[in-house]
Each structure stands twice: as C-alpha cells, then as structure tokens.
Amino acid sequence: MSTTTTPNPSGAGAPGRSREKAPAGEKIADWADGRLGIYSLAKANMRKIFPDHWSFMLGEICLYSFLIIILTGVYLTLFFHPSMNEIEYHGSYVPLQGQLMSEAFASTLDISFDVRGGLLIRQIHHWAALVFLAAMFVHMMRVFFTGAFRKPREVNWLFGFLLFVLGMFTGFTGYSLPDDLLSGTGVRFMEGAVLAVPVVGTYLSFFLFGGEFPGGDFVARFYSVHILLLPGIMLGLVVAHLILVFYHKHTQFAGPGKTNNNVVGMPLLPVYMAKAGGFFFLVFGFIAVLAAVASINPIWALGPYRPDQVSTGAQPDWYMGFSEGLIRVMPGWEINFWGHTLALGVFIPLMIFPLVLVAIAVYPFIEAWVTGDQREHHILDRPRNAPTRTGFGVAWITLYMVLLVGGGNDLWATHFHLSINTITWFVRVAFFVAPVLAFIVTKRICLGLQRRDKDKVLHGRESGIIKRLPHGEFVEVHEPLSQEAMHTLTAHEQYQPAEIGPTVDENGVERKVKGPQKLRAKLSTAYYGEDGQIPKPTAEEYKEITSGHGHH
Amino acid sequence: MSSQDIPEENLPAERAADEHAHAHGDVSVAHEKDPFADPGLPPHEHRIQDIDERAAKRSERTVALLFTLSMLSTVGFIASFVTIPADRIVYIFPLGHISGLNFALGMTLGLALFCIGAGAVHWARTLMSDEEMTDERHAIAAEPEVKAKVLADFKQGAKESALGRRKLIRNTMFGALTLFPLSGIVLLRDLGPLPEDKLRHTLWSKGKLLVNMNTNEPLRPSDVAVGSLTFAKPEGLEEEDHEFQTEIAKAALMIVRLQPENIKDKRELEWSHEGIVAYSKICTHVGCPISLYEQQTHHVLCPCHQSTFDLADGARVIFGPAGHALPQLRIGVNDEGYLEAHGDFEEPVGPSFWERG
C-alpha cells in the first residue's frame, strides 16, 4: 500500500529543529508540492485510517508477490533468450551436454547453473507466482464471504477478478517459456484445445503458432505476452484496484464504535507504513527461503521439449489444475457431419472453463438484483449471516476442488492406490452432486451458527459453572454478554423477502407480473425467507427473557 | 491488532458484569430502550511498552537487533556469492544434496529481508501508538447539485459540438472510427500461414522405411518382439533438421507386435505385417504422445489425460476423453526385409479439428 503515495511528503524531523530556516526535507517537499500538489494528496492520505483484521492482509500478499514477480522477472529477462533455434548444449550441466535443445531451454539451464544466484531468482519468480495466484484466490474468497463486493465495490471486485484470470494466463505463458518437456506438453494441450474450436480453430492455431505445432515462434510470442502485454495490463489494474481501495476506504467488521459511516483503525503513517511496508519484506523473505530450500520446476530433470516424448504424472501449475480436471473427466464426445468434426469432448470443457470463473465474477450483480439494495455497504457480513451467499461460495469452491482432483486423477490413483477409472467417474458425478451437497450443508451450518448467536445474546454465554439449586436441580450458570458483544452479534441487517404483491387490484383487474419479477421474488424468498435466515433477537425478546429470568 | 475484533467468548466475566451494572445505573435510558445499542469505541488499553519505559527499551533493542541481523545477512549473501562455487553440491538435512550456492544465497537473502520486515512490524506493534482512530466516510455518489451541474455541462458541451444536429459528421465519424481498427486486424494476417491441408499429411509415404527412434537404424520385423513397444520415425528425418520438431509432432509412430490371432479388427490385420502394427503415437484427444503400453491387455494409455486405446481392436477408445481411434499406418516389408510404410496415414493424426471430417 505504501507504494502508491507520493515521495516522502513530510520531510523527516521537521519539529525540534530551529524554525528560522526551513529544513531541507521541507524545501524538497515544497518544490514537489509546487509541481505535483503533494500536500493536498498527503492531507487526504497520509493519516488515512485502515481497520485491522488478519484477513485484510491477504490482499497485501497478492500485491507484494506481484512486485516480487516483476523485480525478479526483470532480472531473468537479462539472461533468458526467447528463441526456439535448436542448438547443441555445452553448458555446465553435464547430463545434457551435447543434446539438441532450443536456445530458450539452454538459456534457462544457464540461468540455473552458470549465472550465480540465477537459480535462486528463477525459483523466487516461480514460487512468487504460485503464492500470487493462491493469495488472489484466498483474497477473493475473503471478499466474497464477507460481502465486501457490495456497493460501492462491485467494480473493484471485477478488477480483482480480471487480475486473477490474467494472472492465470501470465503464469501459463511464463512456465511455457523454458520450452521443457513438461511445459511443452501443456502448450500442446492448449493447441489441441484451440483446434477444437468450431469453424476457426484450425486458423487460430496456425496464427498462434506461426504454422503447424510447435513451429519456431511460440516461445518468442509467449515471451512478449508474458513480460509485456499481460503484466502491463495487470499493473494498470493493480493501480486502479488500489486507488479504489483508497477512495472507497476499507471495509470493517461490525463492532462497538464501528458504523457504516466511519472507519476505525490506525493511521497509514506511521503504523501501516511500518506494518504493510514491513510485511512486504516478510513475504519476500519467506519466498526467498522457500526458493532456497524447495526446488521448483527443475527443467534440467525434465529435459528439452520433444513433441513425441512425455513423462508420466504431467501436471500444470496448481491454478490451471481445474481446467485440466475439466478436460480429463469429459467423455470423448465427437460429432462428424457434412465433412466437419465437432470435438465436443474438448470444446465443452473449453467453454465450461471460463463459465466456472464467470459464475463467481457475476455473483455480486445477481445478489444486488435479488436484494434490490441501492445503499452503500461498508460493514462486512459474517459469513454465517448470509447463509445463501456462503452456501454458493462453498459450492463454487467445492466445484473447483472436485475439478482439481480430476486434474490430478493420475496422482490420486498412484498415491492412494485407486483405480483411475473410478476416480474419473467419481469426479464426473461429483461435478454435479458435490456443489449441491456443499450448498445444503453450508447453509444448514450457517443457520445453526445464527441460532447459536441468538441463543448467546438472549441467554448469555455458557460459563461452564454448574450450580446446584436448593431443591437439588443442577443448572449451568449463563453469563450475560457485554453490551459490546451483544451489539456486535446483532449489528447485521436482515432483509425481508421481496413480494410480488397482489396480482389482482381492488377493482378485480389482473396485473401482469413479468417472469423476471417472479423469479426475483422466488430467489428473494429463498435467500431471506424462513429457510434462509434465523430472525435476529429483538430488544423485546431480550427484555422479556432477562426480566423473567433474573438467574444471576 | 488484538483490540480490534472482540471475540465474545474472550470477554472477561467481571467486565461483562461491570458493564451490566453500569448499564442499569447511569445510561439506563439508552440500555432500556435498546440493549443492543452501540456502546461506542471501548477505552484504549495500554500496552506494557506504553507504561514501562524498560519494556519499551527492550522492544527498541529487539527491533535494532533484527535490523542488525538483516545487515549481517546481506554481508553473508555477498560473501556466499563470492566464495561458493556455482557447482558446489552440499548435503543439508533433510533436504538432501542440493546446490550450496542456491541454499546459501536464498537463506541469507531471505533472512535479510525477513528481519527488516519483522523489525518494522515489531516496531509498529510495540512502540507506535496503537490508539484506534476514526475517519468519517462520505457517500461515493455526488450530491444532487453536483450531478445537475455535470449533466448541464455535458448537455451544453454536446450542444456546442452539434453532434446530434449534424448527422453527416456523426455518421461519417462513427464510420471512420469503426473502420480504422481493421488495419490492425489485417496486420495480424501474417502471424501464420493458412492451414490448407497441412494437418492431413505427414512425412510418411509409400516405401519409407520405419527407423527406430532410439538406434536410428531401419527396423526389421525380427527387431520387434512380442510385448515390446517401439517408437519409430520415417527415414530421412533427422534430429538436426530444421523442421524436425514440427514433422515428428505428426509422424511419431509406435509399433507393437501382437499375435495375429489376437487382432480383432479386420482392417488392422490387413494393414499389419506378421502381427506387427503401427499406430500414430499422437493422442487424438489433444495431442500428447502416448507412451504407456500394457502388454497383457494390448492397451495403450496417454499419460496426460488417460485416454486408453485398445491396440488389438483398431486402437479404438476404451476409456478417457479421446474422441476417436488412433490412426493406423499401413506397413509391409520391402525387398531387403525392412519394415516400410505403404503410404501416408489415411486420416489426419492428432487432435480433432473442424475441417477433419
């Protein structure tokens, strides 16, 4: 977060010095202010308040790993040769000496064995990419489950979503660059998928590869996409994402003193400068140690790409795993007609792949339509208080995980000694069944937790103290909650289900109700009807119970 | 960090009771009305460092120690870079034999960075003020007056441009703006040649010898034992050739010998030689090279997506996502006793495509 503010605006150590001459820092700041207007910027942002919660740091991990990727990536471009010219290898890795390989592969070997520290930077780059995608995934889930995507943050949700998708493709084009046996197989898979596109697939493939696969162009083309096109777009999106975070101010969880109209926390300067700035170094340090102890993508063990060779257990990087699952478990449907072939077995997964992603991307707009809520929301929901949304989220994650299992079906088979056919069939069934089950179970759990909260508010918390009453009965002493706790547990809003209203007016004239309206009313009832939420305790209920009981 | 969210379970009991008694006293009106009302920010609780200067000093020393460790680590990084040869392999438990240079550089760099981060965070948590502050939010949407002003300005601007009135300008401008990107699309044309029938042909043709991929020698029927899987390429295709990768991506061949009586498919038997059958090695799913052969069942399995083909039955798909059988190459033996192709594949090899038919 510290990266978006303008250069050191305050001038260090201004107080405590003699006031006769402005200190050097202030002079520089004055110079900059006269040209950039930094004082106005700093006025709004230097002491900006950010709320504190562990889950708010997930986005920071994304940002920092992205910066690490850019830093290390620039270093790698100094040594990498994005060329598919075949050369004979004469570097220091003995087992491959004399082998024919592309310059791309040979230069990656050089980075790994001849450039001192090159292997470390390569491994940091690759590890940071995995961390980046994982952090984006978890960050996106945090935003989803707490309802942080609601107005006014829908656009920022989409920016984040785009970053996740672009991150996937940047990762894919990146790990394809060394032109090793594993990544080349992944590129071949991509070519096969492109070929399956009806009508234009063959042309797309020829334009992408400069002719037939693999040809001699794709590494150079992927290179410019990987280091320039996609990161350029992503950098712009990251900046826009952060500007909106500043502009909207951060969301916060409900609690004493926290309202929809304020933000409670610590100031950017100094607390978050130090915490967030320090956290960059923590993330970088962690990834550096990871790169020191855990090898990643050892291309020398895989060898250069040959279209007629392959190794078993071929897996893409984890974030591509769900698309791998789709392609693996799909039955091999193929239709031939009028001299054409429609490879549904490949094309359908190719279409479901973006649909799985889009399903989560459009969710904020669906929920906004169902609730019809036009207000701004800055207080986060606890996941339990939005059972239907939470259920959808968990169903989506379940689908994603089922497909990940499908993507690694060979590894599951060998590690757990299962039949690969059984796993494939399991995934085929689970693709449809597991998300539904996950939705139902999650919703039940959420409702149970809501009941528990209600119980706690009305009856206090279980103290674990057993009291024996004069007549011999044993009761557990319940301690009433503090007002802070009761406020926190009852601060959430509960919608009433939308109703269509009478379809016949007082004159007996029938009103036409449109389909979308009916659908909306139905969804609204499912979301906020009796089965969708537990009514939160009211002040009247509380008073009735506390006045009647008096058990303490 | 800890003062922010209040897990209800952790609240001290006395305080809850306190609060309760308190509520019945002074601010009873508010409580009576709404027991769940927002009590406002809880009072700030001091940390040990806020009260005890010795504790603050300890924190200061910890932070300084971390920063110093970072400096030492950077010195260690440079020292490792200079002294450790790039090819030194060291044994480190439990990692095993790994590159000493990579390990030393990564650990020192990691430590140097981590200590800066840990120092800064410790400094922020223990020594910087942890008093919570409040910022007011303001609606994102503009005030109605602002909106009215903007809309009026826009209308005025639009009117002055006369875009709505002078239709000829508007329409031709839209036309020009729509057409010019076409240049960019046209420029993409030379990204690659047209497919034509390139995907239908491979290097195989009548009389081409089947050359063993490993030994680079032409194959004789006696070289192919029952139960073995042999990979072959067409004669004349050498690894040094410019087009080798592209050609082998289509021409790669796998050869197995079956007992002729085990071959169920009639055409397969006709196209074989003494039970030796030759199939495209490129999977018809998305083009992975198939390389797992089960002798007992005559099944081959693609390791990428597990499509399984029965080589004794026209290589039809028996499991997995592939859409059609592997193409078979018709083979025979030439006058000198070498295996040769009797022509190219009769159908395109590899993944399906729209024009395949």
Q: pLDDT (tens digit, 9 = 90+) per residue, A154-211?
A: 999 999 999 999 999 999 999 999 999 999 999 999 999 999 999 999 999 999 999 9
Tell me, what's the ipTM?
A: 0.88
Q: What is the mean pLDDT of chain A?
A: 91
In angstroms, the CA A513 to CA A501 distance is 10
* Average pLDDT rounded to a whole number, residues B71-92: 95
Mutation for testing the A interface, residue in B210, B291, B304, B310 having most A CBs under 10 Å: B304
- pLDDT given at position A351: 95
Count CB-CB contacts under 10 A for residue A103.
19
Q: Does B157 touch chain A (CB under 8 A)?
A: no
Cβ-Cβ contacts under 8 Å, A271 against chain B: 124, 128-130
The answer to whether the CB of A12 falls within 8 A of the CB of A25 is yes
* CA dist list (Å): A285 to A74, A217, A289, B224: 19, 37, 6, 56
**What is the tens place of the pLDDT at every residue in A387-415?**
999 999 999 999 999 999 999 998 999 99
Q: What residues contact A433, with CB distance under 8 A and at least 6 apart?
A: none
Q: What residues contact B309, with CB distance under 8 A and at least 6 apart?
A: B279, B290, B299, B300, B301, B315, B316, B317, B318, B322, B325, B326
For residue A527 the two structure tokens come to 């979301």
Nearest to B222, CA basis, from B212, B234, B213, B237: B212
Per the CB < 8 Å rule, is B115 touching A308? no
Q: Tell me the angle at which helices A363-371 and A344-361 cross, rounded to the nearest 10 degrees.
A: 50
Q: Does A199 touch chain B (CB under 8 A)?
A: yes
**Residue A258 — φ and ψ, nearest 5°?**
-105, 125
Domain limits, chain A? 2-45, 61-377, 446-499+512-549
Q: Does A244 touch chain B (CB under 8 A)?
A: no
Q: Does A211 touch chain B (CB under 8 A)?
A: yes
For residue B343 the two structure tokens come to 């022509």
For residue B164, give how far its alpha carbon lies from the nearest alpha carbon of chain A (Å). Answer: 31
Q: Exposed (0-12), middle (13-18) or buried (19+): which is B272, by Cβ within 10 Å?
A: buried
Per the CB < 8 Å rule, is B303 touching A333? no
Q: Does A105 touch chain B (CB under 8 A)?
A: no
Residue A150: in which H helix or E strand, if any? none
* Average pLDDT rounded to a whole number, residues A472-493: 91
In angstroms, the CA B109 to CA A489 distance is 46
Tokens 């995980």 label which residue?
A: A401
C-alpha torsion A85→A88→A92→A93, nearest 10: 90
**What is the DSSP pairing of strand A49-50 with strand A262-267?**
antiparallel
Cβ-Cβ contacts under 8 Å, A119 against chain B: 99, 101-102
Q: Does B74 touch chain A (CB under 8 A)?
A: no
Mutation for testing the B interface, residue in A94, A156, A195, A428 having most B CBs under 10 Å: A195
The answer to whether the CB of B240 falls within 8 A of the CB of B295 is no
- pLDDT given at position B32: 60
**Residue B5 — φ and ψ, nearest 5°?**
-100, 145
Count CB-CB contacts under 10 A for residue A429.
11
Q: 3-class DSSP state for residue A15?
A: coil
DSSP A196: T
Per the CB < 8 Å rule, is A285 touching B288? no
Which of A255, A261, A334 minimises the CB distance to B352? A334
pLDDT over threshold 60, residue B18: no
For residue A374 the two structure tokens come to 């036009």
Cα B291–Cα B292–Cα B298 angle in degrees, nearest 5: 115
Q: Does B121 touch chain A (CB under 8 A)?
A: yes
End-to-end CA distance of chain B: 65
In angstroms, the CA A194 to CA A200 distance is 9
pLDDT class for B71, splitting at 50, 70, 90? Answer: very high
Q: Does A366 touch chain B (CB under 8 A)?
A: no
Beta bridge mates, A478: A462
Single-letter residue type at B223:
D
Cβ-Cβ contacts under 8 Å, A124 against chain B: 106
Chain Cα centroid distance, residue A506? 52
Q: 3-class DSSP state for residue A313?
A: coil
pLDDT over threshold 90, residue A503: no
Lowest mean pLDDT among A2-6, A151-155, B120-124, B297-301: A2-6
Q: Does B227 touch chain A (CB under 8 A)?
A: no
Q: How many CA atoms lie within 13 A of A346 on its CB side?
A: 29
Which of A193, A211, A482 minimises the CB distance to B16? A482
Q: What is the pTM of this model?
A: 0.90
In angstroms, the CA A424 to CA B321 distance is 10
* CA dist list (Å): A347 to A191, B1, B218, B355: 12, 49, 40, 15
Count CB-CB contacts under 10 A for residue A4.
14
Which of A124, A264, A283 minimises the CB distance to B134? A264
Q: Does B350 touch chain A (CB under 8 A)?
A: yes
Nearest to A148, CA basis, from A67, A235, A51: A51
In angstroms, the CA A84 to CA A306 distance is 12
Per the CB < 8 Å rule, is B8 touching A270? no
Per the CB < 8 Å rule, is B140 touching A51? no
**Residue A476 — φ and ψ, nearest 5°?**
-90, 135
Cβ-Cβ contacts under 8 Å, A458 against chain B: none
In angstroms, the CA B150 to CA A267 distance is 34
Q: Does A71 touch chain B (CB under 8 A)?
A: no
pLDDT class for B176, splitting at 50, 70, 90? Answer: very high
- pLDDT given at position B357: 80
Count CB-CB contacts under 10 A for residue A441.
14
- pLDDT given at position A499: 82
- pLDDT given at position A20: 63
Mutation for testing the B interface, residue in A418, A483, A493, A544 having most B CBs under 10 Å: A483
Q: Exposed (0-12), middle (13-18) or buried (19+): which is B28, by Cβ within 10 Å?
A: exposed
Q: Does B352 touch chain A (CB under 8 A)?
A: yes
For residue A540 the two structure tokens come to 């009247």
pLDDT over threshold 90, residue A16: no
**What is the DSSP pairing of strand A100-102 with strand A86-88?**
antiparallel
Percent of chain A with pLDDT over 90: 82
The answer to whether the CB of A323 falls within 8 A of the CB of A407 is yes
The answer to whether the CB of A289 falls within 8 A of the CB of A417 is no
Residue A350: in which H helix or E strand, if any? helix A344-361
User: DSSP letter string over B163-177?
Assistant: TTT-HHHHHHHHHHH
pLDDT over threshold 60, residue B24: no
In angstroms, the CA B25 to CA A242 distance is 47
Per the CB < 8 Å rule, is A410 touching B303? yes
Nearest to A296, CA basis, from A96, A131, A512: A131
pLDDT over threshold 50, residue A323: yes
- pLDDT given at position A549: 53
Count CB-CB contacts under 10 A for residue B333.
14
**What is the tens place of the pLDDT at every residue in A48-84?**
999 999 999 999 999 999 999 999 999 999 999 999 9
For residue A61, give how far its alpha carbon lies from the nearest alpha carbon of chain B (Å). Answer: 13
Find which of A37-46, A58-67, A331-340, A541-550 is predicted with most confidence, using mean pLDDT: A58-67
Lowest mean pLDDT among A3-17, A359-373, B50-64, B229-243: A3-17
Q: Note which residues in 4-43 of chain A have CB less than 8 A from chain B.
A: none
Chain Cα centroid distance, residue A498? 31
Give the homologous superfamily in CATH for domain A61-377.
Cytochrome Bc1 Complex; Chain C (1.20.810.10)
Nearest to B252, CA basis, from B307, B210, B208, B297: B210
- pLDDT given at position A311: 84
Nearest to B348, CA basis, from B329, B330, B327, B332: B327
A&B contacts, CB < 8 Å: 394
